[in-house]
Amino acid sequence: MPDIESLLKEKRLFKPAREFTRAAHWNKKTVAEYRKLGQKNPTRFWEKMAREHVSWFAPWKKTLQWKPPFAKWFVGGKLNVSYNCLDRHLEGENAWRRNKAAIIWEGEPGDSRTLTYGELHREVCKFANVLKGLGVKKGDRVCLYMPMVPELAIAMLACTRIGAPHSIVFGGFSAEALRDRINDADAKVVITADGGYRRGQPFALKPAVDEACKGTPCVEHMVVVQRTGQDTAMDASRDHWWHDLMSEASADCKPARLDAEHPLFILYTSGTTGKPKGILHTTGGYLTHVTATAKAIFDLKDSDTYWCTADIGWITGHSYVVYGILANGATSFMYEGVPTHPGPDRFWDIIERWKISIFYTAPTAIRTFIRLGDEHPKKHDLSSLRLLGTVGEPINPEAWIWYHNVIGGKKCPIVDTWWQTETGGIMITPLPGAVDTTPGSATLAFPGVQAEILSEEGDVVAPPNGGFLAVTHPWPGMLRGIWGDPARFKEVYWSKWKNLYFPGDGAHKDKGGYFWIMGRVDDVMNISGHRIGTMEVESAIVSHPDVAESAVVGRPDELTGTAIVAFVTPRGGVDAGSQLAEKVRKQVTKEIGAIAKPKDIRFTNALPKTRSGKIMRRLLRDIAAGKEAAGDTSTLEDFSVLASLREADEN
């Protein structure tokens, strides 16, 4: 791990400002107490969080039942997520929140909508009744494939109200990818929109769903939100307009009394094989985890306007645009479009106009803004900001310092939060009123989370040496499995060491005990904070008839963190060149989506393989990064391959 050296030189330390600490929900004293409790007895710590942050219809009987690798939290407890995100803010001493903004939404063209807690509750109840009317029952899966519109949050909460697990598929995925996910989850209903707005143009979504649903026998109904008003074909036997169904729905819907371990949602994420994994999260533990972390890490107050820029189609959007934020009764800002429309200052304009106080985004976005130039944020009054956050990939110290100076005006703490789709909520993070931060480090495990740096054999690695990140005690937001594939669940996360969770990241601790996440150690790439499996891209490429073989690796990229490089061997008689490169990119867009399009394509007559026929990715990674293949090549079958690969042109 070559980066350790340079990161170790990072000595700048930023202490929380006294005023921030004084007003923070969690000050140094609280955090010290919680750390002590969390280290001694993590189960007790989370029990306390569950009591303080979540409303239960019935108490649990056992806090943690741990039969490795299967955990159950708050066993026997009954609750409802939509009740926690909505109803409880309309009752008793919180009743004043009825007319507080729950969601403030801005569309890319500049239109906006505000939904108060009272209004959101009403819409959610109505849509829950719509789902019931379509025959959706407790336990049935509902697939959501939507742009960033308020109806997406309404649909999620409506699913949770009746106990129908949702499976949200990011709107950037292709029809093929959507089809696989619908079928894997066996979804009965799909919710979508005619389209949305991006880069100043309307785009269509419904045609992709129509295409996907040519091969999804499980789908009985489709509900379509009218966002753009574009011409949209509707199949009368299957499709319904959202507004038609809503106009007749009753606003009276009691929240279902659900078991703490009732499935809440499935979210697909890439792994090391061609097939994405349906990560399963359940009700009580997940809600406890995201609600407590949101309150503590973002220091959420009733006076805040909080903006997380992630699309709800990713875990960050699930946990910290919707569930963790609304469960705290806070105001969540949502934006539909791209950061650069109509100009490169759209985000800063939004912050100024809406007086955003907490801003949570990805390092890739920050690096893009740096490149666009300081003049854009400098044109705007960003003084409403009081806290900044990052997520999704390691942040390079330069980007951290820029974020701190230019966006945060040197006064906002930055929380660099490490977590994953699988962890459900944030795991390693500063607490803004209590922890000194240093650029590039996610600092310490959240109280109640136990993490270590381990060797391949499972021994603790002494600081500052690098190793594998491990989570050594179950936590409430942990995934409960891979949908329909318990064997893969065991194999991927629990087979490296006995009963310890392996997240797939390399990391090291410094002498002060701070964690530094170094990135994935498996065949998963992190492109702009999004996970893409190398095998997934390879199988998309080889599905093109002109391709014989392909190997995909990541190489460092200044902007996106990692860029996708595809080595491609054409079939005999097919000309390699820019035309074929274009075809390959189109194929990947069709099979997965534009986010997985390779940046570089290099044609080669052969790929470096071991004598047993395994592709030597390590060599390819070195070649892609422009480094001399430094590692062990003693098992390489044919040395001439290396020379020809180095000479291959980029396409």
Which residues would be at the binding site for ligand PRX (CB under 6 A)?
Answer: 269, 315-316, 391-394, 416-421, 442, 503-505, 517, 519-520, 526, 530-531
Pairing status of strand 547-557 against strand 561-570: antiparallel
| Closer of 223 and 308 to ligand PRX (Cβ) | 308
| Closer of 269 and 357 to ligand PRX (Cβ) | 269
Closest CA to 329 of 359, 294, 358, 289: 294
What is the closest distance, in whole angstroms, from the C-beta atom of residue 171 to ligand PRX in the complex?
A: 16
What is the closest distance, in whole angstroms, from the C-beta atom of residue 560 to ligand PRX in the complex?
A: 13
| Closer of 118 and 464 to ligand PRX (Cβ) | 464
Any idea which residue has 């190489």 for tokens? 555
What is the closest distance, in whole angstroms, from the C-beta atom of residue 74 to ligand PRX in the complex?
A: 23
| Closer of 529 and 570 to ligand PRX (Cβ) | 529
d(CA 441, CA 415): 10
DSSP string for 7-42: HHT----BPPPHHHHHH-SS-HHHHHHHHHHHHH-H
| Closer of 329 and 339 to ligand PRX (Cβ) | 339
What is the closest distance, in whole angstroms, from the C-beta atom of residue 398 to ligand PRX in the complex?
A: 15
Closest CA to 208 of 593, 542, 588: 593
d(CA 418, CA 390): 9
Nearest-CB residue for ligand PRX: 421
d(CA 631, CA 622): 9
Pairing status of strand 62-67 against strand 70-75: antiparallel
What is the closest distance, in whole angstroms, from the C-beta atom of residue 174 to ligand PRX in the complex?
A: 18
| Closer of 126 and 530 to ligand PRX (Cβ) | 530
Dihedral angle computed from the Cα positions of residues 534, 538, 540 and 545, in that order, rounded to the nearest 10 degrees: 170
Enumerate residues 6+ apart whose C-beta is below 8 A from 18: none
What is the closest distance, in whole angstroms, from the C-beta atom of residue 426 to ligand PRX in the complex?
A: 8
What is the closest distance, in whole angstroms, from the C-beta atom of residue 342 to ligand PRX in the complex?
A: 28
For residue 97, what is the DSSP state? G
What is the closest distance, in whole angstroms, from the C-beta atom of residue 393 to ligand PRX in the complex?
A: 5
| Closer of 359 and 418 to ligand PRX (Cβ) | 418
| Closer of 163 and 430 to ligand PRX (Cβ) | 430
| Closer of 99 and 495 to ligand PRX (Cβ) | 495
* Contact yes or no for 185/483 (Cβ under 8 A): yes
* Contact yes or no for 423/475 (Cβ under 8 A): yes
6's tokens: 């340079």
d(CA 325, CA 305): 10
| Closer of 73 and 515 to ligand PRX (Cβ) | 515
The 3-state DSSP composition of the chain as helix, strand, coil percent (nearest 5) reads 35, 25, 40
What is the closest distance, in whole angstroms, from the C-beta atom of residue 427 to ligand PRX in the complex?
A: 9
What is the closest distance, in whole angstroms, from the C-beta atom of residue 428 to ligand PRX in the complex?
A: 7
Over 384-408, what HEC string results? CCCEEEEECCCCCHHHHHHHHHHHC
CA distances from 238 to 166, 178, 196, 217, 597 (A): 19, 18, 22, 12, 33
SS3 label, residue 325: helix
d(CA 164, CA 487): 25
| Closer of 3 and 211 to ligand PRX (Cβ) | 3
What is the closest distance, in whole angstroms, from the C-beta atom of residue 508 to ligand PRX in the complex?
A: 12
